Amino acid sequence: MVLALAGVKLGFTWEEVQRRGVDLVVALDVSDSMLVEDVESGGKLTRLARAKREITDLLRMLEGDRVALVAFAGVAFTECPLTLDYGAAALFLDSLDTSLIPVKGTALGDAIRESMRAFKGGGNSRAVLLITDGEDLTGEALAAAEEAKAQGVRIFTIGMGRDEGAPIPLPDGGFRRDSRGEIILSKLDEPTLQKIALTTGGRYVRSVTGDVDLESIYRQGVKATLEDQDLGARRRQRWEDRFQWLIGAALLALALEPLLPERRRRGGGASAEQRRAA
């Protein structure tokens, strides 16, 4: 009876589980300016650390969606292809830092186009989360946004930083300077990010301090505007409950107990009978 109450499961069957969701590419700026510490949340964090923490939270709330990671600075590349394995995506995310791409700058156009390539083989419900603190240095961002629009991809842009800009820290201390010795300020190109989102039917969110709030963007933006699609099926084990058999056996034993012959008592009574017989 104890085993029955414990919910014993013996044996299993295989069942097909249909996965439904959207394809989501997270494009993260890993340029040196993301080391600026002007984004605070319970303590001072770099822009990159804040963004990575928010993306980690996003991975925990995904509901059957495929996700990919694109890293970009002066160029862009796919760090993690589309996957349903959020644990693997989190490991790739953890490896992203500003030393990953030697080409300096912020190429938003390359980031968008690389995100489009990351969708290869994906479905029709597609969105990009573009997280950056810099200005478009190539002038290709809006042209790339038009290409995304033509392919039905929505881009949600998140701007991290301040209008007045901030100096870019160097690993050994000090700040980056131009050829004239002037400190370079990394400025947020907010109008371009707004146009990218507007062109593709996405949404722009600015984060100066505090949380980026990717949950709101995901639930009220991505999931509210895109229709879930079939992303294939996978097999999983379904364990069978067997506690009913144990309960049945226990009840049968209780029902038959009155029909069993009474056990002879051990001890003095039995010894007295033996003495009388003797």
**Could you tell me which of 84, 92, 88 has the C-alpha nearest to residue 67?**
84
What residues make up the domain containing 170? 23-225
Portion of the chain with pLDDT greater than 70, in percent: 74
pLDDT at 273 over 70: no
User: Within this chain, do residues 176 and 245 fall inside the same structural domain, yes or no?
Assistant: no
Q: What is the pLDDT of residues 174-226, one digit of tens each?
A: 888 888 999 988 888 899 999 999 999 999 998 765 556 788 899 999 998 88
Confidence label for 239 from pLDDT (cuts 50, 70 and 90) = low
> From residue 68, how far is each of 137, 240, 268 by CA, in Å?
24, 35, 81
Of 191, 206, 225, the position where a domain reaches its end is: 225
Decide which of 251 and 52 is more confident. Answer: 52
Measure the CA–CA gap between 163 and 208, rounded to whole angstroms.
Answer: 10
User: Within this chain, do residues 125 and 6 fall inside the same structural domain, yes or no?
Assistant: no
Confidence label for 147 from pLDDT (cuts 50, 70 and 90) = very high
- Average per-residue pLDDT for the chain: 81
User: Within this chain, do residues 29 and 6 fall inside the same structural domain, yes or no?
Assistant: no
User: Within this chain, do residues 255 and 126 fall inside the same structural domain, yes or no?
Assistant: no
Q: Could you give the number of structural domains in the chain?
A: 2
User: Within this chain, do residues 221 and 136 fall inside the same structural domain, yes or no?
Assistant: yes
